[in-house]
A and B are shown apart, each in its own frame.
Chain A
Amino acid sequence: MSMGALKQYIDLFREHCGLIDANSAAPLNALRPEAYRLLQDMKLPAEGDDNYENCDLEAMLAPDYGLNIARVDIDVNPQATFRCDVPMLTTSLFMLVNDTFAAAEGAVESLPEGVEAGSLRRLAIENPEVVSAYYGKLADMTNPVTALDTMLAQDGFYLRIRKGVKVDKPIQLVNILENGMPLMAVRRMLIIVEDEAEAKLLVCDHTQNPDLDFLSLETVEMFVGCNARFDYYNLEESTEKTTRISTLYLRQEAGSNVSVDGLTLFNGTTRNEYYTLFAGEDAELHLYGMGIEDASRKVSTYSRIDHAVPRCRSNEMFKYTLDDTAKGAFTGRIHVAPGAVKTEAFQSNRNLVGSNEARMTSRPELEIYNDDVKCSHGTAIGQLNEMQMFYMRTRGLDEATARLLLKQAFMADIIDRIKVDALRDRLRLMTERRFAGESSACASCARCGR
Chain B
Amino acid sequence: MLKVKDLHAQINGKEILKGIDLEIRPGEVHAIMGPNGSGKSTLSMVLAGNPAYEVTEGTAEFNGKDLLSMPPETRSHEGLFLGFQYPVEIPGVSMVNFMRAAVNAKREYFHQPPMSATDFLKMMREKRAVVELDNKLASRSVNEGFSGGEKKRNEIFQMAVLEPKLSILDETDSGLDVDALRVVAEGVNKLKNENNATIVITHYQRLLDYIRPEFIHILYKGRIVKSGGPELALEIENRGYDWIKEEVDNQ
User: Contact residues of A with B, CB < 8 Å?
Assistant: 385-388, 390-399, 401, 405-406, 408-413
User: In the bound complex, do residue B92 and residue A396 qualify as a contact, i.e. CB atoms below 8 Å apart?
Assistant: no
B102 → chain A closest CB, angstroms: 4
User: In the bound complex, do residue B162 and residue A391 qualify as a contact, i.e. CB atoms below 8 Å apart?
Assistant: no
Cβ–Cβ < 8 Å partners of A386 in chain B: 51-52
Known: A387-B88, A397-B101, A405-B93; 7 extra A-B contacts, CB below 8 A, are A390-B52, A391-B87, A393-B71, A395-B158, A397-B105, A399-B73, A401-B101
Stretch at the interface among B11-19, B76-84, B118-126: B76-84
User: In the bound complex, do residue A406 and residue B93 qualify as a contact, i.e. CB atoms below 8 Å apart?
Assistant: yes
Cβ–Cβ < 8 Å partners of A391 in chain B: 84, 87-88, 90
Question: In the complex, which of the residues B50, B82, B90, B162 contacts A409, with contact meaning CB atoms closer than 8 Å?
Answer: B90
A388-B88, A388-B90, A406-B93 as given contacts; A394 in contact with B98, CB under 8 Å? no
Instruction: Decide yes or no whether B97 CB sits under 8 A from chain A.
Output: yes
Cβ–Cβ < 8 Å partners of B162 in chain A: 395-396
Instruction: Decide yes or no whether B72 CB sits under 8 A from chain A.
Output: yes
A388-B88, A393-B73, A394-B72 as given contacts; A409 in contact with B102, CB under 8 Å? no
Question: In the complex, which of the residues A390, A394, A405, A413 contacts B101, with contact meaning CB atoms closer than 8 Å?
Answer: A405
Cβ–Cβ < 8 Å partners of A399 in chain B: 71, 73
A386 → chain B closest CB, angstroms: 7
CA of A398 to CA of B50, assembled, Å: 13
Interface centre among A385, A396, A411 (most CB of B within 10 A): A396
A283 → chain B closest CB, angstroms: 30
User: In the bound complex, do residue B82 and residue A394 qualify as a contact, i.e. CB atoms below 8 Å apart?
Assistant: yes
User: In the bound complex, do residue A396 and residue B76 qualify as a contact, i.e. CB atoms below 8 Å apart?
Assistant: yes
User: In the bound complex, do residue B92 and residue A408 qualify as a contact, i.e. CB atoms below 8 Å apart?
Assistant: yes
25 contacts between A and B (CB under 8 A): A385-B88, A390-B52, A390-B88, A391-B90, A393-B72, A394-B72, A394-B73, A394-B76, A395-B162, A396-B73, A396-B102, A396-B106, A396-B109, A396-B162, A398-B73, A398-B105, A399-B71, A405-B90, A405-B93, A406-B93, A409-B91, A409-B93, A409-B141, A410-B92, A412-B91
B41 → chain A closest CB, angstroms: 13
B194 → chain A closest CB, angstroms: 24
CA of A410 to CA of B50, assembled, Å: 23
